[in-house]
Structures are given as structure tokens and as C-alpha cells.
Amino acid sequence: MSFGLTNSPSVFQRYIYNVFRDLIKENVVMIYLDDLVISSENETQGIERLQRVLKTASEYGLELNIKKCQFLKREIEFLGHRIKDGKLYASPSNINAVMNFPAPKCTKDIRSYLGLTGYFRKFIPHC
């Protein structure tokens, strides 16, 4: 599907949600557009869940790009976050963006900076 059309991403997201609906409800897979994350407690569960996701994808004729796949990782980056041992962290690239943000020179710059840093508020204790 071409994502150049305005509604294409939302149509695709809805389709993918419908394909994997049961697995999403069971917390087997998280999906954002064409990015899928399969969480598990251990390697055995990870392989079983991967098989279920691949079977579902196959039933709907969906193909995966093996070059973009990563399997059985203990740490991943997903949607601007680092996920490790079941915990959410700010990704190093996003931390660098905050650290290297130019000093605000006007009201618009301050708003941009506050928007950027406000996103990371959840990672700062006592904020």
C-alpha cells in the first residue's frame, strides 16, 4: 500500500490490527504500522509466540522483510523508547536530541523545547 495517500497509514493500521486482533488482546504482539514487537518471558515462550505471529501473517498472505527482523532480543528500540527487561527508558538518540537542542532564542523556540522535554517527563524522577 502506498503511504503517499493521506488516509493510507490509518487504513493500513486498522487492517493490521484486525489481522492480529486476538494476539494483540492476549498481549502477544504490539504493532505500530508495519513494526511488530513480540514480548515474552523467556526464549521458549518467545519462539511459541513468534510461531503464532508468523502463522497469522501467513494466513493473510503478509510477507516479512527478514533483513529488518530481529529475534529474541533482550533490549529493543521501539517508537523512540528503549525497552529492556520489561522496563521503558528514553532512547539514547532522543536523549542526545535534548542535550544538543540549540538554546532557545524566541517564544517559538521555547515552546519547541518544552514540547521536546515534556515528552521525557515520565523518565525524570520527582517531575
Cell of 16: 493490521
Using DSSP's 3-state secondary structure scheme, residue 37 falls into: strand
Q: What is the pLDDT of residue 121?
A: 79
Contact 116, 107 (CB under 8 A): no
The domain locations on the chain are 1-72
C-alpha 28/C-alpha 45 separation (Å) is 10
| CATH, range 1-72 | 3.30.70.270
- Tell me the pLDDT tens digit for each residue of 65-120: 999 888 888 888 888 788 888 788 888 888 888 888 898 899 999 998 888 888 77
Q: What is the pLDDT of residue 5?
A: 54
Q: What is the pLDDT of residue 91?
A: 83
Residue written as grid cell 508468523: 54
